[in-house]
Copies of this chain bind each other. A is one copy, B any other.
Amino acid sequence: MPLAPSRYYTIPMHYSNAFIPTLREVPADALIASHRLMFRSGMIRKLANGLFAYLPLGLRAFRKVEQIVREEMDAIGALEMKPPVVQPGEIWKESGRWEAMGDAMLRAKNRLDNEFIITPTAEEAFTALVRDELSSYRQLPLTLYQINTKYRDEIRPRYGVMRGREFVMKDAYSWHCDDESLDQTYQAMGRAYRRIFKRCGLSVIPVKADSGAMGGSGSEEFMVESEIGDNTLILCKSCDYAANVEKAACALDYSPRFSLDLAKAAASETPPYEKVPTPNVRTIEELCAFMKNPDGAPMNANQFIKTLIYRAVNVELEDHAAAQAFFAVAIRGDLDVNEVKLAALLKAGEVSLAADGDVERLTGAPLGFAGPVGLQSLPLVIDHTVTGMNDAVCGALEKDAHFRHAAYGRDFTAALSGDIRTVKAGERCSICGGELYEKKGNELGHIFKLGFKYTRSMNASYLDENGKTIIPTMGSYGIGVDRTLASIIEEHHDEAGIIWPASVAPYHAIIIPIKYEGAVKEAADRLAADLEKAGVEVLLDDRSERPGVKFNDADLIGIPWRIVIGDKGLAQQQAEIKHRREKESRLVALDKAADELAEAVREEMRNEQ
């Protein structure tokens, strides 16, 4: 017996009192199923662009997702707290994000000219609060979280609550004495996230940052497949490899030659490189059309070396450390440079293609004629694939000219080589060699080893066993509650409406009396009361609508179990029971319906855990 009996769940909700304004029409701006269905089922309404109100039915489902997140956070020892939503600008200036976050952050000034932000995330606030309390290593590790309102100023808010301006996020932050402790919490979070999504009935794709390219697995995104996803995922058909295309590893199936001797040997049969005139031929497409193989067939893109000039900012690479530096980046002609991987390889804050003027100045040739052979002015960075090229065509570093028969190891070498290539569907998996394919995905959650970024800039520290001042390392872990809720609908719906998993259903069961009067009303009331007593949350459709209207609404709002009570069944002391997923209903004895249904709900909830 709970000590604080909630009056809440002891009152079966009557449909006519529940304010569920269902709609037949689909709003013109609702492009995805969850937006359409949340709107049509009366879960949400729009107050302004990107600003939604959850109506009572929507809020019930929303709170259940929140509660699942809360329970799993509590279960791993994270502690919930509640910082303000309106936060002082000062702490964002301390961390340097006052500028960095740009226009996506909503700022406000009050009458005293104090600057505030409507918080988009809370690394600063949590770190500011913790640094004042942190004194000893004995207080660590510490994991705190909130489930609270956030605001990000999406320029084009779309897809309902999937990409709104105001949203609710669970954001957790942890502080640690060392990497091992951080990793323990990070792993526990990863497991908690998997449980959360499982309990919500969601098939998520956990996407790890690739250890090859990014130097350590310090980040994992939890994605759901979505046609309107922000992210392109690369998945393997044969194993469970999954990566964001921004970071996906490449299989080394292009015979890279890491040894210059091997490369030279491979080039021994290749004629010496020679210049060929290529007037106005700049792009790979133009080269393919212009250059011919010995047999007269047009050359293929994979026979060319594409050389691009990149500008890199805040480079921390040994020998090349600089606030700004330029690099020539060479890759096989049929492939694309992945800028995230390139930045990681260069240990740069950011990379971008150099301006045309810089290209001409640095290569001595107009755009389209850069190449690795004879390049002196710039460090050359090559993708692994280039190490396997021993008879290639490349720019000759002068207008209207290319070299042919260029060979890596013989005619040029690189300052740096690595995997800087964007993976494509159809390639081989770097783990198992299986075929890779692409999916669009939406990020629901992200766990991330932050390191010292905030603790250092905001002066958080503690004393270790020896009384030495140490800066703690930090992790950050987010889940979007609205987006999780919308994704559940994306995965669980049909033509007629939503199909809620029991764990997040706004009500477990809906009782539909064919006519809410006389003996049928009495039986419906009794069953509703019995179900509530057994812990089943019931919506009782007391409206004087036609049965067809009630059935349609029940399907639209997606209540898992439907019990129909009519005169005919009642004469046999029976009701019709049907799960939202099933086509056919079955008869149950009225006096057993409550127990049977409670057990069915319990069973489904157990399966979801």
Q: Is A166 an interface residue (CB 8 A)?
A: yes
Contacting B at CB under 8 A, from A334-384, are none
Whether A47 and B4, one on each chain, are in contact in the complex, defined by CB atoms closer than 8 angstroms, is no
B residues in contact with A144, CB < 8 Å: 19, 56
B residues in contact with A270, CB < 8 Å: none
Interface 9-residue window, one of A80-88, A236-244, A286-294: A80-88
One of B18, B56, B84, B151 near A47 (C-beta < 8 A): B84
B residues in contact with A48, CB < 8 Å: 84, 87-88, 90, 114
B residues in contact with A107, CB < 8 Å: 108
Whether A19 and B53, one on each chain, are in contact in the complex, defined by CB atoms closer than 8 angstroms, is no
Interface 9-residue window, one of A5-13, A403-411, A465-473: A5-13
Q: Is A321 an interface residue (CB 8 A)?
A: no
A543 and chain B: residue at smallest CB distance: B138
Interface 9-residue window, one of A71-79, A252-260, A413-421: A71-79
Q: Is A55 an interface residue (CB 8 A)?
A: yes
Q: Which bracket fits the contact residues of A? A: 35 or more
> Bound state CA distance, A534 and B112, in angstroms?
52
Copies in the complex: 2
> Bound state CA distance, A118 and B81, in angstroms?
21
Q: Is A45 an interface residue (CB 8 A)?
A: yes
A21-B133, A75-B11, A605-B3 known; A82+B110 contact, CB < 8 A: no
Whether A166 and B84, one on each chain, are in contact in the complex, defined by CB atoms closer than 8 angstroms, is yes
Whether B81 and A59, one on each chain, are in contact in the complex, defined by CB atoms closer than 8 angstroms, is yes
Interface 9-residue window, one of A124-132, A203-211, A312-320: A124-132
Q: Is A435 an interface residue (CB 8 A)?
A: no
Q: Is A98 an interface residue (CB 8 A)?
A: no
Q: Is A54 an interface residue (CB 8 A)?
A: yes
A112-B155, A535-B3 known; A52+B84 contact, CB < 8 A: yes
> Bound state CA distance, A53 and B129, in angstroms?
8
A45-B132, A74-B8, A536-B3 known; A153+B56 contact, CB < 8 A: no
Whether B3 and A71, one on each chain, are in contact in the complex, defined by CB atoms closer than 8 angstroms, is no
B residues in contact with A83, CB < 8 Å: 47, 53-54
A544 and chain B: residue at smallest CB distance: B138
B residues in contact with A535, CB < 8 Å: 1-3
One of B11, B71, B91, B605 near A8 (C-beta < 8 A): B71
Chain A residues close to B by CB (< 8 Å): 1-4, 6-8, 11, 17-19, 21, 45, 47-49, 51-56, 58-59, 62, 64, 67, 70-72, 74-75, 77, 79-88, 90-91, 103, 106-108, 110-112, 114, 116, 118, 125, 128-129, 132-133, 139, 142, 144, 149, 151, 153, 155, 165-166, 503, 508, 534-536, 598, 601-602, 605
Closest 8 CB pairs of A and B: A48-B88, A53-B83, A103-B111, A108-B108, A3-B535, A56-B79, A54-B82, A51-B84
